[in-house]
Chains A and B, each alone.
Chain A
Amino acid sequence: LAKTTQPISMDSYEGQEVNITCSHNNIATNDYITWYQQFPSQGPRFIIQGYKTKVTNEVASLFIPADRKSSTLSLPRVSLSDTAVYYCLVGDNNFNKFYFGSGTKLNVKP
């Protein structure tokens, strides 16, 4: 399974757009990229998933370049409640195991 690398932490202010980049140089052809959000003492929550180009939903956008060796999660106009750890995971959709990387601790300041 492709290993992922993310920044350990990021700081932002309320109302700003936050972009978190994840590197996955060994991504396989069948692999999808999925992002999860985790608050302390809670299970991870699905944010967005994509295979290539751009995906957008009501909470985030996911940008994937043509070589798919990286991806960027974009959170528009963050609020204090977006303070959490964000995980980038790579895997195929045959329900193979997810191996979590270190994640990115996003701290949103007022």
Chain B
Amino acid sequence: GAVVSQHPSRVICKSGTSVKIECRSLDFQATTMFWYRQFPKQSLMLMATSNEGSKATYEQGVEKDKFLINHASLTLSTLTVTSAHPEDSSFYICSAPPTGGYEQYFGPGTRLTVT
């Protein structure tokens, strides 16, 4: 099946710094990608939809100035957590449906810890 990768797999940063997480579709193109956040023992929460060549659309309650999304190519979307705080510590997961396909493929996730 199709593969979605994320980098880094885990990152620790200091409060107030920014962290960038990459999501790549390795063997297919994706005009749309999705970003989720998952806290321990909770379900995935959709944060935003990343659209290639245009602005991301954010779910209600998600601060777009804090979670910057860039979808610069058909295989790469990035999520930047700006001015990170300990409450941003979470598991961030991206997903992508192949163009013309019907199934969403999920990345392995990125564990962010803000100290």
- Chain A residues close to B by CB (< 8 Å): 32, 34, 36, 41-46, 49, 87, 93, 95, 97-103
Contact A95/B108 with A41-B91, A46-B1, A100-B46 known, Cβ cut-off 8 Å: no
- Inter-subunit contact A43/B102 (CB<8 Å): no
Q: Which residue of B43, B45, B49, B106 contacts A45 across the interface (Cβ within 8 Å)?
A: B106
Q: B55 CB to closest chain A CB, in angstroms?
A: 16
- Inter-subunit contact A98/B34 (CB<8 Å): yes
In the assembled complex, B63 has its CB within 8 A of some CB on chain A = no
- Inter-subunit contact B97/A42 (CB<8 Å): no
- Inter-subunit contact B43/A42 (CB<8 Å): no
Contact A46/B104 with A98-B46, A100-B45, A102-B43 known, Cβ cut-off 8 Å: yes
Q: B2 CB to closest chain A CB, in angstroms?
A: 10
| Cross-chain pair count, CB within 8 angstroms | 50
**B-side interface residues, number (CB < 8 Å):** 24
Q: B105 CB to closest chain A CB, in angstroms?
A: 7
Query: Besides A34-B104, A44-B95, A46-B1, 5 other CB < 8 A contacts?
Result: A43-B109, A49-B103, A95-B97, A98-B95, A102-B43
Give the most central of A32, A45, A98, A101: most B CB within 10 Å: A98
CA distance A49 to B1 in the complex (A): 15
- Inter-subunit contact A98/B102 (CB<8 Å): no
